[in-house]
Chain A
């Protein structure tokens, strides 16, 4: 079946097609060939091939039966470990098909689980170790508790280098008969922050407008992916108009359903463009970091963001 979505269409399906993670591929490939893998932990930034590699492993192991022997869960979507456990249990209850004695469960974004949920997961991994192998993926291995790390073989994925991304974009552009200059490819790479999935998505969305991929078109597309008008929010705050700042903020967050984390990322970058003393910029950055930390820990994003805006109001006063 040919996919319309390029991230699927051009997803590597064999080890040799994967770019940028040569060392990991070598080791994982030999493990897979032995038809016996340990639990695996893939750590690394988004869009570096973690899910892709997991899929290749199961396809190599189970061949045409891979769908029956493979369960994919995303920890950031599943509410609570109990759901995960239910699904795992139901899946692991039946024996695997074919000549491999186990099934594979891929738990994506495992670092989104709370430490307590991870403790529960650890028991689950042990209880089903005879019938199931787990492949966990995470952005930061430090957020995965030690007992789980110690049960897994850990692989650290590197951010893709520019040349790797260039290769991918070149290849797709040829197959899709797009015209694209090296300069444009560079803009895509910069906008993607080394995330290969994002690169391909930017490319496809631009191509949906015109097969001739120009720098302007790409820049517009990238700008569209970022929260807009955060600057306006900060301008209101700096000028002392807290009320309008928070109204605008809520408006942006709701209309475009942008998460608190996305907003804070934009705020953090915007700090360097506001007219305050260097010393204050440092303080604001620290405040921003604290707010981000709290949001990640599960605080109410809007309350934390308002507290942050109030610090910007204060910074604005200090300017005069």
Chain B
């Protein structure tokens, strides 16, 4: 039996390093049981009580475990639906809906667990919409787990649910848990190796326990070196790490695990710096960002890719080091919108460009200059049909010049 199953916590006392989440989930279920039942429809859930709770966070932080522990704690039956099940509209209707309509036969209460909701794929057509409709009608609390809830397809679900983020588990806590397990298993592994496992797990307890089990079965455990799991960090997480934490050598690697081209990351940083920093820190952070951009330009110009190193360091460590002290509190980061705005505007100025192009050729100047001088050219061209003819402007272009 895998140790990850064997040693999965059975009660809240055994769950380590997630106190905030425990409080939240207890609170969520308690509110539920205290709300008067009976009657029908949505009216029962007056107030702002939400009927679903999304536990989200990186793998191996205890999301599913917490759901099972709270079920144990409240004497509830768990009805689980996870990524291995097909979760399209029809299937949810066929399987999940009845479960939300029947009382538990064996236990006092019931909790619905929709595990790994971000795994709902294209095949699961209409799944999210159906899930939301079930949330609206169910009398039972629904717990949903996910790694990344910022995906667009989950935005409507986010509004329907309370959110609780589970943080990566501190390596010391991970190590303590490993020691507890070893004791129970009556095995011994060198302290240094335990520390290594705990650090390399990067907050993923499940990974750490798996590594521990593998190592404990080996004859010479000290000779084993693990490959680090390549964990994908979402952009929100890396923004948070850079903006909130003190820079460390780990900061340099943050973007390695973000699945996004660096040009796009630059836009995310650009958008969000002012939400986090002000005054001197703002100036320093933008200074680092502007230098990032300079190196980016040098790469393009000279096709010398080693400059990427500098681009990366300035963008991560450089911006992280712009603050004096670590920051606390929640910041809601925003998606960059500049490129969209530029695109929309370009659509609007296509005619302006084509007019400037025709003018530029005609009077022997560069197109850029014609664009820069456009306000004055517009005045000259718009009131003179002869010029419009000379430049061979189309009707649409002439129309563009007229005041609306």
Contact = CB atoms under 8 A, between A and B. Distances in A.
B95 interface: no
Interface stretch (A92-100, A164-172, A299-307): A299-307
Nearest to B387: A4
Given A242-B274, A262-B372, A313-B283, A5 B363 contact: yes
Nearest to B290: A307
B390 interface: yes
A272 B376 CA distance: 26
B365 to A, nearest CB: 7
A72 interface: yes
Contacts of B387: 4-5
A202 interface: yes
Contacts of A299: 290, 293-294, 296-297
Interface stretch (B16-24, B138-146, B341-349): B341-349
Contact of B364 (A4, A108, A221, A258): A108
Interface in B333-375: 338, 341-342, 345, 349, 352, 359-360, 362-369, 371-375
Contact of A294 (B280, B290, B342, B375): B290
A257 interface: yes
B271 to A, nearest CB: 10
B287 interface: yes
B171 interface: no
A258 B384 CA distance: 25
B315 to A, nearest CB: 11
Chain A interface bracket (under 10, 10 to 19, 20 to 34, 35 or more): 35 or more
B73 interface: no
A320 to B, nearest CB: 11
B390 A3 contact: yes
A297 B297 contact: yes
Contacts of B362: 5, 8
Contacts of B279: 240, 313-314, 317
B83 interface: no
B367 A76 contact: yes
A74 B390 CA distance: 21
A259 B372 contact: yes
Interface string B283-303: 101110110011011001100
B255 to A, nearest CB: 17
A204 interface: yes
B90 interface: no
Nearest to A297: B297
Interface in A210-260: 221, 224-225, 240, 242-243, 246, 250, 254-259
B232 interface: no
A310 B286 contact: yes
Interface string B361-404: 01111111101111111011001101100100000000000000
B380 A5 contact: yes
Contact of B384 (A208, A242, A257, A259): A208
B85 interface: no
A1 to B, nearest CB: 9
A197 B365 contact: yes
Contacts of A242: 274, 278, 282
18 contacts: A3-B390, A4-B390, A51-B364, A76-B366, A76-B367, A197-B365, A202-B376, A205-B376, A224-B379, A259-B368, A300-B293, A300-B296, A304-B290, A309-B286, A310-B286, A311-B283, A314-B279, A314-B282
Interface of A: 3-5, 7-8, 46, 51, 55, 72, 74, 76-77, 108-109, 112, 114, 197-198, 201-202, 204-205, 208-209, 221, 224-225, 240, 242-243, 246, 250, 254-259, 262, 291, 294, 297-300, 302-304, 306-307, 309-311, 313-314, 317
Interface of B: 266, 270, 274, 278-280, 282-283, 285-287, 289-290, 293-294, 296-297, 300-301, 338, 341-342, 345, 349, 352, 359-360, 362-369, 371-377, 379-380, 383-384, 386-387, 390
